Chain A
Amino acid sequence: MATTVQDAQQAEDKGRKFAGIRTKVSSHLSQNEALVFEKSSPGKKGYKLPTLDVPEVDASAVLGGAVRKDAGCLPELSEIEIIRHFTRLSTWNYAIDLGMYPLGSCTMKYNPRVNEFVSRIEGIAEAHPYQPESLSQGALKVIRQLQDCLLDITGMDAITLQPAAGAHGEFTGILLVRAYHQSKGNPRRKILIPDSAHGTNPATAAQCGYEVQNLKSNALGMVDLAALEQMVDEDTAALMLTNPSTIGVFEAEIHKVAEILHAKGALLYMDGANMNALVGKTRPGDFGVDVMHLNLHKTFSTPHGGGGPGSGPVACKKMLEPFLPTPIVEKAPDGSLRFNYDRPQSVGRVRMFYGNFGMFVRALAYILANGPDGLRQTTEDAVLNANYIRKNLEDTLELPFKTPTLHEVCFSDRRQAAKGIKTGDMAKRLIDYGFHPYTVSFPHIVSGALMIEPTESESVEELDLFIDAMKQIAREAEENPELILSAPHATRISRLDEVGAARRPVLRWKPKAE
C-alpha cells in the first residue's frame, strides 16, 4: 500500500494527471490456468483401482449395439492438478467473503457460517426426499417452522416454499392470481407494472398469458395514484409492485394503491426483492398485499450467485390458499406432520420434491439466530448503511430523486456523463479499487443509474473505503477521464468486449484442430 500512496503522490508532484490512491487493494501474483480440457493428457488418472477380483463381464455382449465405444471428451488429470485448477480459478474471483458487494436490489449480504454449520448436520444433509414421512418428521418440522416464521414476518396467511428462485416465485404467484380470477369465471386480461420494476415482472406476466401495461412513476419515484386509478378496470388481474421500489423509495401510499385495485377486484402482487428494508418494521400483509414472493437468497442470507441455489417462497392471503402448489405440509390427527397432495384447485407442482430444502435450513438458522429483535436491527442497519453512503456521496454524484430512501440509493451519472464518463465506466474503475461494481444502468427511470445497496453486513470502515473510492473516481473523471474509460487496469484481464460477446457469442469450447 505504501508504494501505491507514494506513486500517486509522485505523479501529482510531477504534474501528471490525478490517479486515485487505492488503499483497499494491492496487486499480488495470481497463477495462470488453462481450461481443464486443455490440461488433459490421455491416460492420466486421479485414482488407482484395485485389480478386478470378480469375473469380468463383456459389456458389448450384454448391451449389444448400445455399448459405448469411447468415454466422450472427459478431461484426464491427476488429483493435484484438479485441486490446483479449481483453487487457482477461485483466486481470480470476487466474493462477499472478500469485501463489499454493493449490487443494488440484489442484497448481497454475508452468509453467516452458522447457516452452513446447521445445513451440514448429518441428519439434515443426508435426508432423502423419498424417505418415508415417518422418518422425515425433522425435515417436515423445518419446513413448517420456516413457513410459520415467514408468515409472521410478512403478515400473510399461507405460503409455499417450492419455487426455486425469485422469478420462479413471481411465476408461481401470478399463476395463483390467474387461478383465483379463473375460479370466478374470468382470468382477466392485463397486469400493470411500474416503469421502475425489475425486468422479470413483465416477463412473468407475459409468461402467464397476460398483457403488460406500463405504469409511469411520479416525480417522487412512486406509483402515480391518479394514473393508477385511470388504468385499473375489470380486466386488470393485478399490479406487480416492488416495495420499496428499485430506487429504494417506500410506497408511502401503498394502502391506497391496494384500495384502488381491490375496488375493481384486482389483486396486489408484491415483488419481495427489497424485503431487506422491511423485515421486522412493517408487514406486506398489513398494507394490503394479496400475494408476494420472498428471496431467501437475498433477505434471509442463503448463498446468492454462483449457482445458489436460490429459493423464492410465495406467500398469499387466505382466498388464494386453495390454489397453492402441491404438496403442502399439514398436521395429521395424531400430531405428526405429513404432505397433503389432495388439493383439487391447486395450480399443481412447480418444482420437483419440496423446493431447495438446504436453503430452508439456512434461512431458518438465520431467522432463529437473529430472533425478532435481531432481524429488526438488521433492517435498521441496512437502511442506515445505505443512507450513510447517500449522505456522503450526494455532493459527488447526482441524486435524481430526493425522496428519502431505505436500503439502497440510486444515483445518476449525469455530472460525469458531461465528461463522457458513464455509469458502466465508473463501475469498471471501481473494480480497480477492490470492490465489486454496483448495479449499472438500472432502474431505467434513472438515466445512467448507479444503484448501490451495501446491506447491513458492512462496517463503517468498509463503507468509508467505498465512499473514498467513489470520490476519487469522480475526481479522476474530472481530471483524468482516459484512465476511467480504459479501466479496469489492475485486473488479470482488462475491459472485455461485451458488445462482441453479445453480437457474436462463442458458447462452446472446441478442441483445437490437430
Chain B
Amino acid sequence: MAYPTTYRYTKEHEWIEVEGKTGRIGITDHAQGSLGDIVFVDIPKVGASVQAGKVFGSVESVKAVSDLYSPVTGTVTAVNEDLITAPEKINTDAHGSWIIKVELSNAAEVETLLDSAAYEKFVTEETGH
C-alpha cells in the first residue's frame, strides 16, 4: 500500500494532510491492517482541543481498543460522522477516511512528523516485513 506523499505521519500510525491552517487526521493503512476489523470509533466533539502526542480518541477492533494520538496541537473543527455508523470505511480506505479536522495552532509541528518514505521505513523496521 502506497502512503500518500502529501501526508505526514506519526510513529503511532496516524496521518495528517495539511491544507492552509487546517489538517485532516486519520490512521494509516498499516494501522487498520494490524487492528483488524474496526467496529467502533470514539471521536471528540467539534470545539475540543487536541495536543500533539496526546490521545484524542480511540478505535476499537474485534481484537483491541487503541488510542488515537494527535499529530498536532489545535482545535477540532469537524468530525467524520460517517464513521460512527460505518467504522469499516477505515478498513476499506484508511487514507481516504479522515477522522477529525483540526485547526492548527502551531504549523511548525507538522515539520517534525515523518514523511511518507520515513514512515514506510519505520513500518518495515517495526514489523520486519
Contact = CB atoms under 8 A, between A and B. Distances in A.
A419 to B, nearest CB: 12
Interface string B15-52: 00000000000000000001001011000000000000
A497 to B, nearest CB: 10
B39 A502 contact: yes
A396 B128 CA distance: 18
Contacts of A308: none
Contact of A502 (B62, B127, B128, B129): B62
Nearest to A203: B65
B87 interface: yes
B39 A503 contact: yes
A341 B78 CA distance: 53
Contacts of A414: 128-129
A441 B39 contact: no
A499 interface: yes
Contacts of B63: 424, 440-441
Contacts of B87: 503
B128 A444 contact: no
B129 A503 contact: no
Contacts of A199: 64-65
Nearest to B91: A499
A498 interface: yes
A62 interface: no
A447 interface: yes
A424 B62 CA distance: 11
A499 B64 contact: no
Interface in A480-510: 498-499, 502-503
B128 to A, nearest CB: 7
Given A444-B64, A447-B34, A503 B88 contact: yes
Interface in A389-421: 414, 417-418
Contacts of A499: 37, 39, 62
A417 B36 CA distance: 13
Given A447-B34, A499-B39, A503-B39, A418 B64 contact: no
Q: How large is the interface on B (under 10, 10 to 19, 20 to 34, 35 or more residues)?
A: 10 to 19
Contacts of A441: 63-64
B90 to A, nearest CB: 12
Interface string B51-95: 000000000101111000000000000000000000110000000
B62 A418 contact: no
A432 to B, nearest CB: 21
Interface string A411-442: 00010011000001000000000000000111
Nearest to B37: A499
Main SS of chain B's interface residues? loop
B122 to A, nearest CB: 14
Contacts of B129: 414, 417-418
Interface string B116-129: 00000000000111
A499 to B, nearest CB: 4
Nearest to B67: A214
A498 B128 contact: no
A14 B127 CA distance: 38
B127 A498 contact: no
B68 to A, nearest CB: 13
Given A414-B128, A447-B127, A503-B88, A498 B64 contact: no
Nearest to B63: A441
Interface string A447-475: 10000000000000000000000000000
A242 B39 CA distance: 29
B47 to A, nearest CB: 21
Contacts of A440: 63
Nearest to B62: A498
Contacts of B128: 414
A447 B40 CA distance: 21
Nearest to B65: A199
- Of the candidates A199, A442, A444, A499, the one having the most CB atoms from chain B within 10 angstroms of its own CB is A499
Contacts of B62: 498-499, 502
Nearest to A424: B63
A302 B64 CA distance: 28
A444 B35 CA distance: 10
A502 B61 CA distance: 9
A410 to B, nearest CB: 15
A61 to B, nearest CB: 53
Given A414-B128, A499-B37, 13 more contacts: A417-B129, A418-B129, A441-B63, A444-B64, A447-B34, A499-B39, A502-B37, A502-B39, A502-B40, A502-B62, A503-B39, A503-B87, A503-B88
25 contacts: A199-B64, A199-B65, A414-B128, A417-B129, A418-B129, A424-B63, A440-B63, A441-B63, A441-B64, A442-B64, A444-B64, A447-B34, A447-B127, A498-B37, A499-B37, A499-B39, A499-B62, A502-B37, A502-B39, A502-B40, A502-B60, A502-B62, A503-B39, A503-B87, A503-B88
Closest 9 CB pairs of A and B: A502-B39, A499-B37, A441-B63, A498-B62, A503-B39, A502-B62, A499-B62, A444-B64, A499-B39
